[in-house]
Structure 1
Amino acid sequence: MNQITSSHQSLYSQISSLLLYQSVFENEVGEAFLNLLDSLSYPEDDHLNLDCLIAYGEWFNALANHQKSWQDYLTTEILLNTNPFSEQIQSVTLKELPNSLIEATKHDLTILQTVYHCQPQQIAQWLQDTIKTYSSALVWELENKDNTFLHKSDNWEEVIEDLANYYRQQGTGIFAQYQALKWYDDQLIGITNPDPIELSEIVGYEEQKATLIKNTEILLAGYQALHVLLYGSRGSGKSSLVKGLLNQYSNQGLRLIEVSKSQLKDLPFIVDKLRNMSQKFIIFVDDLSFEEDDDAFKSLKVVLEGSITAKAQNVVVYATSNRRHLIKEYFGDRPQLSEADEVHAWDTVQEKLSFSDRFGLTLTFEPANQDKYLTIVHHLAQQAGLNLPQEELDFKAKQWATKHNGRSGRTARQFIDFLQGQLAISGL
């Protein structure tokens, strides 16, 4: 392993010579670190000594805010970094990149490895050496939790292929930082705490689940997957099933983007932003239905059917709805024999009714009967580790469904959550 032999002045100069990864230090922790190195470079002076102490405190505070070791923070920033190498390598091989870009990447990785091996204990020692009258500095020490190829390598120049593969699968920037995102105020926003639901928690609709999983795996394999409409009764697990896909396949480059019905007008623009990314995207639209002459209907239709612009092979729309026919139809829509009516009025009606057919797959989630409801309850109770006798569990579950929201997967989940809390506080 390389050992740090250069002074803080030399380290500051090396960081200043970065060609591609300068923005690794354009953040709270990085800027505090550079400010500390700069402060330590001044000659001894009482006022400047105070600046050193303040700069060290700011760097310590910044690391504490992020609850990461210095090494973990640095490698995370490298893996998230957006630069010409990390962007271009997502669509081409290393051999197809200009040699000067590869050499610049290796140059920067060598410098960043030097910074990586600069331990907080050594930085604290630099502070003591600069301020002779300062006896000791508290060191920020936290165990490294990440276990990436950067942590394992003794020579970062040799991991450039691993780094390229990481960027291809996980992307950079917001797509590497977040698995779930939402479209808000004309931009993508990362969701810090996405729903942790797992596919194994969803039972009772095995055929629908298997079909959706297969379609998603086709997407991940790089083939043309189908847009999917998940239609059926409320509380049947349609939305949970889509969210569970993210937790199953995010490590394979799957990303979930939530778009509300009111934002569907932006859908063609969103798809254009995603089409050249190496990740695969599910655009998730929950509780979908349209009013007559809804502009959102036209925007979604463009994405589902395509336009003069080619379809994006890495993007699919998964929408849930309680309505089989997504556009509300009124009796007034039915053709009437009147001169004021449209001549081919039935064509308009049929376009409305057939809109759901534009989804390549329609998965139907029928209401849960008692057997299916109890099957879901038993499965969730087993996962929660509840040891009630089955007869007692079934009786309580049926009572709950009668008094609350009827038989459904959602009702079963609510019942188990309540029962688990009730038993816990009762000491049972």
Structure 2
Amino acid sequence: MLPTLSRIAAALERLAPPPAVTPAPKGADAFVWHPAQAGLPARLAPVARVAAVEIGLLQGVERQKSLLLENTLRFARGLPANNAMLWGARGMGKSSLVKAAHAAANEAHPGSLALIEIHREDIRTLPELLNILRADASGSGGGGRRCLVFCDDLSFEREDADYKALKSVLDGGIEGRPANVLFYATSNRRHLMPRDMIENERGSAINPGEAVEEKVSLSDRFGLWIGFHNADQSTFFAMVEGYAQALGLPIEPDALRREAVEWSVTRGGRSGRVAWQFITDLAGRLGVALPG
């Protein structure tokens, strides 16, 4: 009888799913957060190589670089630092600066900082991710790895309640933000919500001031606001010339500017993204390989 029961128990054990493994920011410098779904457990997927630009290559955003890099370096050293929101014009290097600052901090303090990307559509699961990172810090005797949780192109539309979860975890919830975590976000909107949504709240609420304050208070939870504005022509030239010099492109300055102007006209604007697209095209035509 006992051998039969033992065989049954062994068979059931083989059929049982393996115990869930709690994700942890270990084994890489960058991860993508995948919340539990369709029967699959939550996980932090390691990123072997981050698509980052060296911070010295980012031109025309010197003040923004200085602010974010200093904040990130302080955090990497274990000092107090602020959540940061990078907002403003498209293509001016907001997300590139976040990744470059992370790389620079890890170069200065190797392995100190993990970058964890959370997609906009998963922002409602941010409390779950923070609980995992809090548990990792507690399990390491309070010395868990420091993490930059990063959401690119963050914004909220009408009837979107996810912003309330974000407000709570950034500042004001009972547990608060774990000491080993900072939250960085980029957005084209200063207050993360469309202007007409805020205006409609002002027009339909019993107390318009309170309604608007409720909507815009989310952005107040970021201690560091860094604005990015459209590039004028001199800034655009500085970007193009900086890239060309760093990459050693064999082209005369006058020809470089002339071609850059033509490229920006065909693209309908000037920005860091347009400058890099031009340099990519130019490098290809000149037979110069870009750093991989």
Fold match (TM-score > 0.5):
yes
Q: Does 1:262 align with 2:121?
A: yes
8 A contact 1:280–1:315 mirrored in 2: yes
How far apart are 1:310 and its partner, in Å? 3.8
How far apart are 1:373 and its partner, in Å? 0.4
How far apart are 1:329 and its partner, in Å? 4.0
Aligned partners of 1:361, 1:180: CA distance in 2, in Å?
A: 22
**For 1:312, what is the secondary structure of its paired residue?**
coil
Match of 1:279 among 118, 140, 145: 145
How far apart are 1:243 and its partner, in Å? 0.8
8 A contact 2:24–2:133 mirrored in 1: no
Letter paired with 2:252:
P
In structure 2, the partner of 1:318 is 184
In structure 2, the partner of 1:103 is none
Letter paired with 1:295:
A
How far apart are 1:288 and its partner, in Å? 1.0
8 A contact 1:373–1:412 mirrored in 2: yes
Match of 1:361 among 200, 224, 245: 224
Structure with the larger RCO, 1 or 2 (CA within 8 Å, 6+ apart): 2
Change (3 A) 1:386 1:196: same
Match of 1:352 among 212, 215, 229: 215
**For 1:230, what is the secondary structure of its paired residue?**
strand
In structure 2, the partner of 1:406 is 269
Instruction: Within 5 Å, give how 1:45-56 maps onto structure 2.
Output: none
Aligned partners of 1:392, 1:329: CA distance in 2, in Å?
A: 42
Letter paired with 1:384:
L
Letter paired with 1:199:
I
In structure 1, the partner of 2:30 is 180
In structure 1, the partner of 2:82 is 226
Change (3 A) 1:270 1:310: same
Instruction: Within 5 Å, give how 1:291-310 maps onto structure 2.
Output: 291-310=157-176
Aligned partners of 2:72, 2:225: CA distance in 1, in Å?
A: 14
Change (3 A) 1:319 1:254: same
Letter paired with 1:332:
N
Change (3 A) 1:416 1:329: closer
Match of 1:334 among 202, 212, 215: 202
Letter paired with 2:213:
Q
Instruction: Within 5 Å, give how 1:16-95 maps onto structure 2.
Output: none
Aligned partners of 2:147, 2:172: CA distance in 1, in Å?
A: 17
Letter paired with 2:162:
A
More displaced stretch, 246-255 vs 412-421: 246-255
Q: Does 1:379 align with 2:242?
A: yes
In structure 1, the partner of 2:11 is none
Structure with the higher fraction of residues in strand conformation = 2
8 A contact 2:145–2:180 mirrored in 1: yes
Aligned partners of 1:316, 1:310: CA distance in 2, in Å?
A: 12
Q: TM-score of the superposition, structure 1-length normalised?
A: 0.55
Change (3 A) 1:271 1:367: same
Q: What stretches of structure 1 of length at least 5 have no aligned partner?
A: 1-172, 337-341
**For 1:282, what is the secondary structure of its paired residue?**
strand
Instruction: Within 5 Å, give how 1:61-140 maps onto structure 2.
Output: none
In structure 1, the partner of 2:286 is 423
How far apart are 1:405 and its partner, in Å? 4.6
8 A contact 1:335–1:346 mirrored in 2: no
**For 1:406, what is the secondary structure of its paired residue?**
coil
8 A contact 1:228–1:361 mirrored in 2: yes
Change (3 A) 1:236 1:324: same
Aligned partners of 2:177, 2:216: CA distance in 1, in Å?
A: 24
Deviation string for 1:269-315 (max 9, x for gaps)? 11111124321111111111101342320111012113111431111
Q: What stretches of structure 2 of length at least 5 have no aligned partner?
A: 1-22, 37-42, 138-143
How far apart are 1:356 and its partner, in Å? 1.3
In structure 2, the partner of 1:32 is none
In structure 1, the partner of 2:9 is none
**For 1:289, what is the secondary structure of its paired residue?**
coil
Aligned partners of 2:35, 2:180: CA distance in 1, in Å?
A: 23
Q: TM-score of the superposition, structure 2-length normalised?
A: 0.80
Identity %: 37
How far apart are 1:424 and its partner, in Å? 1.0
8 A contact 1:222–1:313 mirrored in 2: no
Structure with max Cα Rg: 1
